[in-house]
Structure 1
C-alpha cells in the first residue's frame, strides 16, 4: 500500500520561493502529508515549482572557485592553478571518488534528489485519492508536461557525466527492496529521457496564453519549461547516444536515428518562430551580433532574441570580476584564460580556412600552418573569425568600444493604464495625459528591460506640459507587488507649470545608492524587472501631458587603453602562481563580458542552456555521419524543407560573417570542420568538456594546454608558444566522472554489485 505519510519539512517549502507561507496551515509538528499538499491549488503549484528548484544555475561556480567548466577542459587554464581548490586539484590530477573537483554542486545526489521530487509530483498529481485540489485541467497538464521534461533533463545531466544510471520513475516506498535495483545502460536511459519528452509533447497546447505546456511564454515566465526545451533535450540525448563513447554494435541510436530526431527538433523550433540572433549592435555596444547576443539577456517572449531556448535564470557570468583583465575596476582574478588551442581553432575570415591544421610536436609548440589560409605568424590575431574578437581578449585588443565621447543610453518607459490609482489616462500618439482625480494618484511604468549602466549619471527625463505647478511629486522604485522605496530623498520633487513643452530631469544617484534601483537585485528582482511608480501629486485637477518618458544614462569617456598581454604589459602574462590576477595563457575571456561592467555595475551576460545554433550543429553532426555532408535530409514540420549537414553548418557561419564551407568535402574532412565549428561557436558554453569525451578524443586534447608568451622589443612583438603543466586528466577513466564513494558503497551493500565507473 502506498505510503501516504511522506513528510515534507517546512524549510523545504520555504525554498520553493512562490510566496506559499501564507497558505500553509501546518500541523503542530511542522509536517504535511501528500494529501495536504495536493488538496490545495497553491501548495500543488508550489510543489510543481520545487521540481524546478534543482535546475542548475550554470556559470562561474565550480566548487566555490568562481571558474567555468571550460577551465577543466582544453578551452582554458585558470590562473588559480596554484591556489588550493578545485582547479588546482584537477590540474594536479587529485580527482578521486571521494573528491571530484569538476563535479561542483550539481552532483549525482543533487540530480537524484531532483528526480525524486519529480517522481513524487507526477505520481501524486495523477492519483485521484491524493490530488483533490480544484485545478484547471490545462494548467495541471502544463505542470505535468514541464515536470516530465525536467525529469528528462535531470537524467540527461546524469548520463553525460556518469554514463548509465538507475532509472527510477516512481517514489520509493519505505519498504522498497533496493537489492532489486540495477544500473541501466546509456541506451536505456536515453530511451527513458526521450519517452519523458514525448509524453510531454503529446499533451496538446491549451490555446491559452498563460497556462499549459506551450511553445510561447511571456517575459514574466522566465524559467518555464517549454516545448522547444523538450525538443532540445531529445536532440542532445540522441546525439550523445549515437556518439562513439556510447554507441554499441547493436545500439538503436544510429547516426540515422539521431539525424531524424535532431532534424525534427530543429524543424519544430524553426516552424514556431525560432531563428538565429542577428541584430547588429551599435559600435559602442558590441563588435557584432554574436558578441551582442552573449551580453544581452534573453527575453522569453522572443520579441528580440529568437535564438535562446533556455537561459540560466539567475547567475550572471561575472566575467568582469572572476575572469577579468587587471585593468578592469573591481576585478578579483584572471580566472579562465583561453588556451592557445582554442585561439588556433578560430578560422580566417577572408578565406574561411582553418589557420592551424595541427601540431608537428607532442608539446603543441610547432603548429602546422595552413599556407592557403592567409594566417600571418607575425600578426597572428589579424583577419580572424569575428567570433574570436567577440570571445577573447588578446594582445592589443581594445578594452573598450567607447568612442571617447560622452555616450548616452536610453531606457524608454511607458505608462500602464490599468495600473493606476486616482488618475485618468488619455493617450494621443506618443503623448500621455495624466489627470489626477483626488486622493493619492499614482501610475506604474513598464519595466526598464535591462540593467542600467551606472558608470555615469542616470536620470529620469521627459518632456511635459502642466496646467499647474506640482511641488510634491514622487517616484518610487518598484518590483512586482508594489513600491520598494522612494527614489527621491529629502525634499519633494517640483514640476513647474508649463504651457509649452519643457524638459524635466531627476537624478537617480540616490536611488541607485540606496536601493540599487536598476543596477542590482535589490528588492528581490533582477534589475531589468524594476519599474517606476509616478505619483504626480495629491489632490484632483492636476493635468500633466508627458512624452519621451525614459531613464537615460550619460557615460563618461573611457580610456582607450588596449589590453597588453605581453610580458610587463598592463595585463601581462605571468607564471607566478601567487599572481592570480594575471593570465597564464596570454589571453583573457571576453565572451559574455560587457566591456562596461565593473565594480559599479554587472552587465555581463548569462549562459545559455539550449539555443538554436546548437540544434543546427547537432543536426550537422548526425546527418553528416548518417548520409554525408551534402545529402539533404527531409523535414517533417510544416513549411520546413530539406537540409544538408553542410548547409546547417553554413547557416551558423553566415550569422558569424564567415564564408561557407565548400561543397565536396569528404566525410573525414567535414568531420574536422564541424568539430571545429562546435569548438568556436559553442566556446565556454559547457559543450567542449563533454564533446571530447563522447567523441573519445580526450587522450588527444586534455593532457595539457598551451599559451602565447609575447615579449616586446621596441615596436616589435615576439611570439613564443608555451606549454603549461601536464594535467593527467586525459586518461580513459576521465571519460566519465567517478560515482561518489559513499553512493557506490550504499549501492554495493544493497545489490552486491560494484557500480563504480572504470578506473575509479
Structure 2
C-alpha cells in the first residue's frame, strides 16, 4: 500500500534525502495517489506528456544573454562579452562547479528530474495494481516505447556533458539507501541507452496509423517520439562512446561497433522514406535548399520535409532578435557573431577544395591559403560553399532577398505577317515560328494600342526555343509608316540556343530615354499607332519559335540595403564592450534566420535535434575509422545498399551543391576533410561544442577566436584579421563539465566518494 499512497508533501528530512541525487524521484502531484493517476485514461496520458516537459528546447537558451551554445565554442563570439552573465563568465574563465555558464536550464538536476518522471511512468503503467485505466494496448505500448527512448535521450544529454552518471531505472522509495549509489562508467550508461532504445524498437508496430510506437506520425502530433528518433539516439551514443574522449581499451564500443549501429540507423531511416531536403526555393525565399531547410518548419508527416527526425517543439531560434543585424527592426543584440575560424572552414564551390588549410602562427592571423582552391584573399567571400551564404551575413551580403511586389503594366503584342522582309511565319496555337530566308530579315508587330507608361523600365520579353543562337538582333519602336528614326537597340543582342522554353528579355529603357518613342513621341501620332519591329539581323537560315511576346513596363523596388560590416558601416564591427548591437567578429548569424523576420513577424526556423544528414556524417566518421573511407559497408537492413564513408560525405555535399571529395585521400587527409564537413554542415546546431571535446582537440580550437576587421578606403575594402580575447576554456578540465557543487557534495556525504569531475 505504500506506493499507492505516497504523497508529494513529505517531511523536510525526507525531501532532502530524495532530492540529494537531483530530486531523482517524487510521487505524482501531491493531490492524487499513483493509483488515482493511472486509473484514468486522460490522467495517464497527462502523466505521459509530463515526461516530455524536460525535453530541451535547443536554440538561444543559455542564461541571461539568450545566446546559443555556439557562443561557447569556436563557432562564434557573443557581443555580450562585456556584460555580466554567462558569456562574460565563460570568456573570462569563471566557470566553476557552483557556476556553470553552459548549464542553463538543462542541468544535471533537470535531466534527472525528467528521468525520475520516466521511471515513475514506466513502473506504474506496468503495475496491474496501479494501472487500471482502460487503454488500447497499442496506444499504451506506444507510450511505453516513447518514454523508454525519452529516458535514453535524457541519459545521452547527461553523459555528453558529465561522463558516466548513476543509472536509475526505478522510482526511488523513501527508504532508498543513497550510500549504495555509484557513478556508472560511460560504457555502462551507453549500454543502458541502447537497451532502452532496443526495448522500444522491439515493440511491434501497430496496424493503426494514429497510435503505437511508429515511424510515421501526423502533423498534429508534433513532439511525438518516433522509431527514427530511437535510431538517432543509438547512433549518436555509439559515436560518442567510440570517440577518443570516452573509448577505453576494453570497451565494446569501438569504431566497428559504432559503424554497425549507425549503418543500421541510417538504413532503417532511408527504408522508411527519409531523405535529405532538396527543395529549391524561389529566389525571394531563400538562397538555396540548405538555407530553405533551416527556415521552413518541419512537417512531422514528412510530406515536404523528409530529413528532420526531430525538431525543437516550442521555441523559434529568434536569430532576428538575439543575433540580429542592427538594421533589422526590433533586433536587441548582435549576439553570436560567427568566428573567422568558422568562415575559414567553408570551402570553394568551383573546386570543392578547402580555402584555408590552417594557420602559420599561433594567433590565427596568417592563414595557410590553399592555392589550388581558387580562394582570393582580396575577395574572400566570392565563390564559397553555398552553405556559407545560407549561414553567415558577411560584408556587403544582401540583408533581404526580396525582389519586391512589382506591379507591371503589360502590353501584349502580336506579329503582322503582312509586313515583313525575308521571314516566313508558321503558327501553331499561341506559338509562332520565324524562319529567316535572306539578308536583313524583319517583321512588324501589330499596333500596341496605347501609349507606354512612364515607368522606369520598359522591357521587351518573350519565351522561345531555338536550335541555334540568333545573333545581332534589333528592336525598333515605330509609328505608322516605319521606323522613321525610331528607337534602335543596336545590333548587339544575342538570343542563345535552347531546346527548352526559355525566357528572353531586353531592357529598352535606355534606348527610349535617348531617342523617345517614335518621331511623334510628344504628340501627333496616336498611341494606338505605336508598334514594335523585330529584326533578326543574322541573315538567312535562322529559325526561332516564340510565344507571349509583350512589353513590360514597371518601376523596380529600391535595391535591398546590404549588411555593411566594415568599420563605420550600417552594421559595422565594434570593440566597445558596452555596445551589444554590433558584431565583435565582423559577421552576423544568418542560419535559421528568415530575412522577413522582425519585431512584427517571427519567421525564423526551429533548431533540429536530429536530422538525416547527421546520420550520414556519423556513419562516415565511424566507418572511416573502422574500415577506411573507401571501403563500402554492407547494410544489415534488407535492401540496404552498401555505402562507404566518402560516399556518405559526398551525399551530404551534393545537397549543398558542392563537388564530391576526391578519391585517393589518405586516412589523415580524409579525417581533416570529414571534420571540416561536419563543422560547416552542422554549424550552430549544438554539435561543435561536443565534437571538439570527444575528439580531444579542445586545446587546439577553443583558446580564442578571431574576426575580420574591414576598412573601406576609396571604395576598396582592406581585410584585417584580428584576435579576440583569450578565453582560457581549452584546458583539459573543460573536456567534461563540472557537476553542480551541491549535488556532488551531497552524494559524497552519502557515499564517501568524490563524484566531481577532474579539475573541478
Name the TM-score, length of structure 1 as normaliser.
0.77
Give the whole-Å Cα distance in 2 for the aligned partners of 1:662 and 1:116. Answer: 49
Q: d(CA) in 1 for partners of 2:129 and 2:253?
A: 40
Which residue pairs with 1:443 in the alignment? none
Q: Is the 8 A contact 1:119 1:170 kept in 2?
A: yes
Report deviation, 1:406.
Answer: 4.2
In structure 2, distance between residues paired with 1:654 and 1:73: 27
Q: 1:85-484 alignment to 2 at 5 Å? A: 85-406=85-406
Cα distance in structure 1, aligned partners of 2:6 and 2:265: 38
SS in structure 1 of the partner of residue 314 of structure 2: strand
Shift of 1:558: 6.6
Question: Shift of residue 639 of structure 1?
Answer: 2.0
Q: Identify the residue that residue 529 of structure 2 maps to in structure 1.
A: none
Partner of residue 738, structure 2: 738
Please tell me whether the aligned partners of residues 2 and 173 of structure 1 are also in contact (alpha carbons under 8 angstroms). Answer: no
Residue number in structure 2 paired with 1:630:
630
Give yes or no for the alignment of 1:590 onto 2:590.
yes
Cα distance in 2, alignment partners of residues 592 and 558 from structure 1: 25
Note the C-alpha offset of 1:404: 3.7
2:7·2:30 contact (CA, 8 Å) conserved in 1? no
Question: Pairwise mapping of residues 574-613 of structure 1 onto structure 2 (< 5 A)?
Answer: 574-613=574-613
TM-fit CA distance, 1:317:
0.4
* Matching residue of 1:445: none
Task: Identify if the C-alpha distance between structure 1 residues 329 and 120 changes in structure 2 by more than 3 Å, giving closer, same or farther.
Answer: same
Q: For residues 284 and 146 of structure 2, what CA distance do their matches in structure 1 show?
A: 40
CA deviation profile, 1:455-480 (whole Å, cap 9, x unmatched): xxxxxxxxxxxxxxxxxxxxxxxxxx
Give, in angstroms, the shift of residue 261 of structure 1.
0.2
Q: Residue 161 of structure 2: SS of its match in structure 1?
A: helix
CA contact (8 A) 2:72 2:689 kept: yes
SS of aligned partner of 1:316: coil
In structure 1, distance between residues paired with 2:559 and 2:294: 24
Deviations 1:698-719 (A, max 9, x none): 0000000000000000111100
- Alpha-carbon separation, structure 2, partners of 1:396 and 1:622: 40
Contact kept in structure 2, 1:3 and 1:174, CA below 8 Å: no
Shift of 1:31: 1.2
Rg comparison, structure with higher value: 2
Q: Deviations over 1:232-290 (max 9, x none)?
A: 00000000000000000111001000000000000000000000000000000000000
Deviations 1:276-332 (A, max 9, x none): 000000000000000000000000000000000000001000000110110111110
Distance 2:292 2:562 in 1: 20
Assess, with a 3 A threshold, how the Cα gap between structure 1 residues 407 and 688 changes in structure 2: closer, same or farther: farther
SS at match of 1:296: coil
Q: Which residue of 2 aligns with 1:511?
A: none
How big is the shift at 1:572? 0.3
Aligned to 2:538: none
Measured after TM superposition, the shift of residue 381 of structure 1 is 0.3
Q: Answer yes or no: is the 8 Å Cα contact 2:267–2:640 preserved in 1.
A: yes
**Counterpart-to-counterpart distance in 1, 2:371 and 2:324:** 34
Q: Could you report, residue by residue, the CA deviation over 1:40-72 in whole angstroms, capped at 9, with x for unpaired residues?
A: 111111111111111011110101311000000
Kept in 2, the 8 Å contact 1:407–1:557? The answer is: no
Q: Secondary structure at the match of 2:607?
A: strand
Task: Check whether the contact 1:8–1:33 (CA below 8 A) recurs between aligned residues.
Answer: no
Who is 1:462 aligned against? none
TM-score where L is the length of structure 2? 0.77
User: Gapped runs of 5+ residues in structure 2?
Assistant: 10-28, 409-555
- Per-residue displacement from partner, 1:428-467 (whole Å, max 9, x unpaired)? xxxxxxxxxxxxxxxxxxxxxxxxxxxxxxxxxxxxxxxx
- Is residue 394–residue 587 contact of structure 1 (8 Å, CA) maintained in 2? yes
Answer whether contact 1:404 1:560 (CA < 8 A) is retained.
no
* Conserved? CA contact 1:400–1:558, under 8 Å: no
CA distance in 2, matches of 1:331, 1:717: 27
Partner of 1:560: 560
CA distance in 2, matches of 1:128, 1:87: 50
CA distance in 2, matches of 1:57, 1:669: 36
Pairing 1:65–2:87 present: no
Moved over 3 A (4+): 404-408, 556-559
Q: Which residue of 2 aligns with 1:755?
A: 755
The 1:64–1:208 alpha-carbon spacing in structure 2 relative to 1, beyond 3 Å, is farther
Distance of 2:624 and 2:176 partners within structure 1:
46
- Unaligned 5+ residue runs, structure 1? 10-28, 409-555
Question: 2 CA distance for matches of 1:223 and 1:636?
Answer: 29
Distance between the aligned counterparts of 1:404 and 1:302, measured in 2? 31
* In structure 2, C-alpha distance between the alignment counterparts of 1:146 and 1:167, rounded to whole Å: 19
Aligned to 1:31, the other structure's residue is in SS state: coil
Return the alpha-carbon distance in structure 2 between the equivalents of residues 7 and 677 of structure 1.
52
Number of aligned pairs?
594
Aligned-pair distance for 1:407? 8.9
Deviation (angstroms), 1:5: 2.4
2:32 corresponds to which residue? Answer: 32
In structure 1, what is the Cα distance between the partners aligned to 2:406 and 2:391?
26
Residue 658 of structure 1 pairs with residue 628 of structure 2: no
1:174 Cα deviation after fit: 0.3
Name the CA distance, whole Å, in 2 between partners of 1:30 and 1:684. Answer: 41
Residue-by-residue CA offset, 1:585-615 (whole Å, 9 max, x unaligned)? 0000000000011111000000000000000
